[in-house]
Structure formats: structure tokens, C-alpha cells
Amino acid sequence: MPGKFYEEPIDEYLPQNGNRGYRVSRYELDLVYKVAGNRLAGRAEITAITTAIQPRFTLDLSQSLTVSKVFVNGAKPAKYVHQHGKLVITPQQSIPAGGLLSLAIQYGGIPKPVRGPWGEVGWEELAEGALVASQPNGAASWFPCDDHPSSKASYRISITTDTPYYAIANGTLMRKQIKASQTTWVYEQSEPMSTYLATIQIGPYQKHRIGSAHGPVPMQAIVPARLRAEFEYDFARQPQMMDLFIERFGPYPFEGYTVVVTDDELEIPIEAQGISIFGANHCDGRRGAERLVAHELAHQWFGNSLTIRQWRDIWLHEGFACYAEWMWSEAAGGPTADQLARAARHNLSRQPQDITVGDPGPQRMFDDRVYKRGALALHALRLQLGEQSFFDLLREWTLRYRHASVTTEEFTDLAGHYSLLPLRPLWDVWLFSEPLPQLPPYNGVSAGV
């Protein structure tokens, strides 16, 4: 393969991922999935604008899937090579910079997760159905894409699968058509979405509304019938979480919110745009996973609407979602955010202090210390700014960068406008130094509603 595709990685944490020469604006995916045998057949129509004249264009696509045809701008079938997780397409005619790049790709096979330093991510076969959990680089396990968080686009996802099963994807259900033994579900995700946040969930599920029909955000649950009673208790306080986060973080960024509980157990819950996915083990009838329920909901603002441009800034997703757990605990009458922050700092003080939150390195970007120290950085900021300024900052942050890509520098620059004192010392010790700093003294902050 030509060496140019491997020069200057778009992201040093995932040097093989992402592609140059174009920007995708829309994906239209038509998928047919047979649950028995885990077989996927797909057609992807990708609309992009070129940013440079190139003889070839690349997409990320797992070798588990086989490409059968590629068309460029509606012309005759184009030449392509598919190897090392890259689909390299050669248009018949040169496309000028700023020109339309319309790709239609037919493919299929038995989808498998992508193996990496973080385990297996992407399409996963369940006992009955399938789930998709793609963070950070698993989207290529089920569709050809520009698989990098800074590449956001709108989506139409059509899934045809066996009729007994419920199928869900991101966005609004536009159409459901039952035809003999198969049902087609068509979803439209109009807000820009990163590839790793695109998802499909298929299983023996039933749909239920969460909370009042007159709440600020339509909320629904997709749950196996056997778990309905536990779910109703364990997830009952989601409407109150939504109210708290809207007040603290600003308007909810999507049309609705869906919680999926799989019939299988999952080690950890998974966020997707407009959707959170939990395992059967997270329904224990004791609200044992409630902090995770808050964590995943907070990701709709921090991670899904505001998405990092580079993986090194992962604390902007996980630190914020972890801090939301502490805020919810206090609002719900549990330990206060300050108590939880000080307990977390104490626990961290007994662990190795060899991680830099603002650039942890690819092997450690999902290390729990990034989550906890990221949340502690926010608590230290809150103690320094005071209540009003801190939450004014968060609301401006989510409004200014709604549905956009963000960096640590953009957050620290914005925070500087809310402080009379320079914040550089705070960022230096919390984000860019390994030794664990002390928290400032408690000054009576409250996270309650």
C-alpha cells in the first residue's frame, strides 16, 4: 500500500485510524443481519467533500468483512484494494479539491470485534442478537468509515433483521416495516455523530416509556421482559437525573434518550449518541449501578455532543462524566460531591502516581485514574471559581461547542474568562503533572438542585 497513507497520523494514539483528503458529511447504511450465524450484508453510501486532490482515498474497514463492489460519484465500478484494515479506492477520474466524493460500497461477512490494546471493540454477537460498542476504534467492524472522533456526520441507518427481534440504532425511528419473517427499522440521526458513537442493538427486547410524557426530553427503555421489574426500580430516578443535568449542563443536546439493557451481562456500560447500553447484571433490584446510570447520561453532553478532537483529551469525556456521578449522589441525598472527591483523592494517593491526565498515552487512556483525576481537576476548579461561575462555565462550554469537536486548550481558555486569578497553576498540577496535588479547602459548595 502506498506509504503516504501512513505518514503523519491524524491521532498518535490510533495511528492507523482516520483518513486524509476528504470530510464526510453523511453516512447512509442499509444493513441486513441474520441473527442465526451472525451474518451481515451491507451497502454504505458515503457523502464527502474532498479537501485535496488525491489519486486514491482510504476508509477504515475490518478485514472480517469482504467488499464486493465500490462506486465513486455514480460512475462504473471503481478499483479498490482492501488490506490491513484499509479500503483503498481509486476513482476513474481525478476529483478536484472541494469536489463531491460520493461512495457506494457493497460488503458483507461475519462481523467480529476489532482487537486492540483496549480489548475487543465493535460488533459483538450476543446469545440472542448483537450489540455494538465501538470506543475507540470499533466502527470499522461493521461499516466502512473515517473512524476518528473528529470526523462527525449525519446518519441514516436501516436494519433488516429477523422479525421477533427488536432493532435500535441512533436517532429517531422514521419507519418500521414488517415483511414476512423480517422487519426493517429505519433511523435518522440528524445531529453530527462520531463513528465510534454509532450503534446497533438487536435482541429480544420490549420498549417502555421512562418518566412522564410531558418531561423535557422523551426517554424510553429497550429491555428484556424478564428484567422489567428490576429495571423499573434500578433506573427509576433517570428523569430526576435528566432535570439535574439540564440545569447544571444546559439543554439536553439530542431529540431523545434511550436506555438499552441487553439479555447478556456486560462488564461495563457503553455510551452511544442518544443511547446508553447496560448489561443484565446492571439490573440488580438494588440500584447498585445507579452511579453508572448517571455517568452514561452525562456522556450525552460530554463525549457525544462535545466530542474530543484527539484521544489524548479523553479526560474531557470521562472526567466530566465521573464528576456528574458525584453531583448526582449529592442531589439524591447521598455523599456530597466534596466528600466523594476527597475520598477519591485519598484512594488515588495510595496508587502509583505515574500518569498525566491531559496526555495519558494510548495504553492508559481508559485508566480509572484518568476518570477520577479528571473529575478531581473539575472539583478543584469549582472550589476556585465558586458555584455560580463554575456552572455558568459548564453551560457556556456545552452551548458554544454543541455538536462540535473540542480540545483541552479550548476548555482551559474558556475557563480563564471565569477566573480573576490565572488558572495555569491549577491545570499544570492536575492535568500535566504526575504527582497527585492536594484539593483546595472545602468552601461549602453544593451540587443539589
Instruction: Please give the domain boundaries of the chain with CATH numbers for all domains.
Output: 3-203 (2.60.40.1730), 206-300 (3.30.2010.30), 308-431 (1.10.390.10)
Query: What does the H/E/C string look like for 343-369?
Result: HHHHHHHCCCCCCCCCCCCHHHCCCHH
284 three-class SS: coil
Instruction: Give the count of beta carbons closer than 10 Å to the beta carbon of residue 182.
Output: 15
Residue with cell 488525491: 54
Flag whether pLDDT at 427 surpasses 80: yes
* CA dist., res. 223 & res. 283, Å (int): 10
Flag whether pLDDT at 160 surpasses 70: yes
Locate 321 and state its grid cell.
462524566
Flag whether pLDDT at 1 surpasses 70: no
Q: What percent of the chain is modeled with pLDDT above 70?
A: 97
Q: What is the pLDDT of residue 445?
A: 52
Q: pLDDT digits over 352-394, tens only?
A: 999 999 999 999 999 999 999 999 999 999 999 999 999 999 9
* CA dist., res. 415 & res. 417, Å (int): 5
**DSSP letter for each residue of 37-53:** TTEEEEEEEEEEEESS-
Flag whether pLDDT at 447 surpasses 60: no
Instruction: Give the count of beta carbons closer than 10 Å to the beta carbon of residue 172.
Output: 14
Q: What is the pLDDT of residue 214?
A: 84
Q: Note whether 161 and 37 are within 8 A (CB).
A: no
Query: pTM for the whole thing?
Result: 0.96
Cis peptide bond N-terminal to 111, omega within 30: no
Q: What is the pLDDT of residue 443?
A: 72
User: Is residue 2 very low, low, confident or very high in pLDDT (cuts 50, 70, 90)?
Assistant: very low
Beta pairing, strands 307-308 & 405-406: parallel
Q: What percent of the chain is modeled with pLDDT above 90?
A: 93
- Residue 181 burial class via C-beta count within 10 angstroms: exposed 0-12, middle 13-18, buried 19 and up: exposed
Instruction: Give the count of beta carbons closer than 10 Å to the beta carbon of residue 260.
Output: 23
User: Is residue 449 very low, low, confident or very high in pLDDT (cuts 50, 70, 90)?
Assistant: very low
Q: pLDDT digits over 301-344, tens only?
A: 999 999 999 999 999 999 999 999 999 999 999 999 999 999 99
Q: Note whether 196 and 149 are within 8 A (CB).
A: yes
54 three-class SS: coil
* CA dist., res. 397 & res. 86, Å (int): 35
Q: What is the pLDDT of residue 224?
A: 97
**DSSP letter for each residue of 374-415:** HHHHHHHHHHHH-HHHHHHHHHHHHHHTTTSEE-HHHHHHHH
Flag whether pLDDT at 446 surpasses 80: no
Q: What is the pLDDT of residue 7?
A: 65
Average pLDDT, the chain: 95
